[in-house]
Amino acid sequence: GPMATSAATSSFPSYLFPPPASRRSGARPARAAAEGVMDVVSEAELREKGFMGMRKTKLVCTVGPACMDALPALARGGMGVARVNLCHGGRDWHRAAMREVRRLNDEEGFCVSLMVDTEGSQLLVADHGGAASVKAEDCSEWLFTSKKTDKAHPITMHVNFDKFSEGILVGDELVIDGGMATFQVTEKIGSDLRCKCTDPGLLLPRAKLSFWRDGKLVERNFGLPTLSTKDWADIEFGITEGVDCIALSFVKDANDIKSLKTYLSRRSLEHIKIFAKIESLESLKNLKGIVEASDGVMVARGDLGVQVPLEQIPAIQEAIVELCRNLNKPVIVASQLLESMVEYPTPTRAEVADVSEAVRQYADAIMLSAESAIGAFPEKALSVLRAASERMESWSREENMQRHLPQYQLAIALPDRISEQICTSAVEMANNLAVDAIFVYTKHGHMASLLSRNRPNPPIFAFTDDANTRKSMNLYWGVIPLQLPLSNSMDDNFKQTIKLLKSKGSVKPGDSVLVVADSDLNQPCAATSSVYQSIQVRLVD
């Protein structure tokens, strides 16, 4: 009876059973006024759930044919970054998607960043020429060739690279898509490979190949540049369309990142952030250098699973997430988070656990790939990410998990060490005093990132007068970026922002705010080179 259930649950802490959240209305938010510094999604969330109810984990959606019409709904549903993967679809389509995102920002008060992915040139892809998947039967003989033909041949796979069989020996294992099907190389005919299916399975269009010998990946360096001619053209296109960040596929080492950053800075485009996609064995070997050189990292678990045994992926994910937080770089956990929702309106419990685990590890962002790009339920998938992350975040706060985060000193020069210590202490103070919010005034977002790195309980409102800085903070955990004109007086800035937020009903008298001011706003005159940073705790009167 009902008595039994209450008795059963009473032995659990009460926060495991939160009161049901009020159903979100699908009503379109009123168009933000010109001075509307906060994006409409954060504003609605703050009104509805209060400071502590604001979601900290950022949500990235891959834009594809399935969700073009749903972009406004995805933006309302919490999409902070729209990702356009330049491997799929044509220019016109990419352009339309990117312009729609910019329109949502300009006209409807959203703050969604634009990310494009390059294709990269290090991946072997094979295609059977048909539209659907083909079954590879046990012991069937297949030909893998790079020679182009007009029509599909049975039992033939066309590989996208003419030197794909270089260094491969008879007896090597050829694995499709990290285990969909497995073949053994039985014969080399010129540059073609004849193979026998040893583990039957499905061959999907654009299947990814890897070769294994004695249980180890056969690593070959074809000497291809990380950025192909097509990639450079794609990057030009992205720059023209106003992208905020570029995700580089198949990064091999830090030089790949550095060369692109040099190119961008020569053209005064430093505001475009470079994310390294970690998806090959080679990138894992050079991980620390890659993370240090880049502005952020994407853990591309799907492609990583082609080159790394799948049981190793969870430990690798956790290690990358921790390294990124230590080195103060935002990290996105990507691929297959809710894969079953490509077809079904509800996820598996295992997928929800996977999403929650990424959130528990304090990843800055989690990402939908096929789920939003080609899936049948893009909005539902996003709402699952949102609900699961909000739930896990509140549990992490209840359990005080944040205090177990290791402190890793990053800075070397004294001014940087001061900034870092100020932010670390500010977060400790904010948590101990249980303030409602942290305010930070920042030119380039650096102080906001140092605060975010310590994963505080209260939300971080980061005020900047630079539109590019605002967009770049979209991937920082727990940061709500706001843009408004700032003066050199900390006091004026605080009064102005409080007045604005009060007028919107976002803050009310009695709210406590911890305020951190960045040195570059507080130079009394250009001659002083002293670092001037401060922490204040203020009550809204």
Nearest to 475 by CA among 372, 367, 353, 317: 367
Q: Which helix (H) or strand (E) holds 213?
A: strand 207-213
401 and 361 Cβ atoms separated by less than 8 Å = no
| The token pair that represents 42 in the structure block | 């954060």
Question: Looking at this protein, which amino acid is placed at residue 9?
Answer: T
Quote the CA–CA distance of 193 and 278 in Å, as a whole number.
29
* Backbone conformation region of residue 173, classed left if phi is above 0, alpha if psi is from -120 to 50, else beta: beta
Angstrom CA distances, 240 to 71, 256, 269, 424, stand at 21, 22, 11, 38
Three-state DSSP class for 208? strand
8-state DSSP, 443: S
Quote the CA–CA distance of 116 and 84 in Å, as a whole number.
5
Quote the CA–CA distance of 437 and 516 in Å, as a whole number.
11
Angstrom CA distances, 201 to 162, 180, 218, 308, stand at 25, 6, 22, 19
Angstrom CA distances, 100 to 376, 479, 481, stand at 21, 24, 21
Burial of 267 (0-12, 13-18, 19+ CB in 10 A): exposed
Main-chain phi, psi angles of 36, to 5 degrees: -65, 95
| The token pair that represents 319 in the structure block | 């290690």
| The token pair that represents 148 in the structure block | 């182009």
| The token pair that represents 222 in the structure block | 């074809």
DSSP per-residue letters across 461-476: EEEES-HHHHHHGGGS
Q: Return the bridge partners of 486, or none.
A: none
Quote the CA–CA distance of 101 and 432 in Å, as a whole number.
39
The 10 Å Cβ neighbour count of residue 529 is 8
Nearest to 275 by CA among 25, 72, 60: 60
Its CATH architecture, for the domain 57-121+226-401, is Alpha-Beta Barrel (3.20)
Would you list the domain boundaries of the chain? 57-121+226-401, 134-217, 417-540
Q: Could you tell me whether strands 512-517 and 437-441 are parallel, antiparallel, or unpaired per DSSP bridges?
A: parallel
Main-chain phi, psi angles of 85, to 5 degrees: -90, 115
Q: Could you please state the CATH topology (level 3) that the domain comprising 134-217 is classified under.
A: M1 Pyruvate Kinase; Domain 3 (2.40.33)
Nearest to 451 by CA among 429, 432, 482, 483: 429
Angstrom CA distances, 326 to 90, 270, 323, stand at 38, 23, 5
Quote the CA–CA distance of 184 and 193 in Å, as a whole number.
10
CATH class of 417-540: alpha beta
- pTM, 2 dp: 0.91
Residue 29 has what pLDDT?
Answer: 43
The runs of H, that is alpha helices, within 109-223 are none
For the chain, 541 residues long, the average pLDDT of each consecutive 10-residue run is 45 60 43 63 94 97 91 98 91 94 96 95 81 90 88 83 94 94 96 96 91 94 88 96 96 95 96 97 96 98 92 97 97 97 98 98 97 96 98 93 85 91 95 96 94 97 95 97 90 91 89 84 48 86 89
Quote the CA–CA distance of 190 and 192 in Å, as a whole number.
6
| The token pair that represents 313 in the structure block | 């992926």
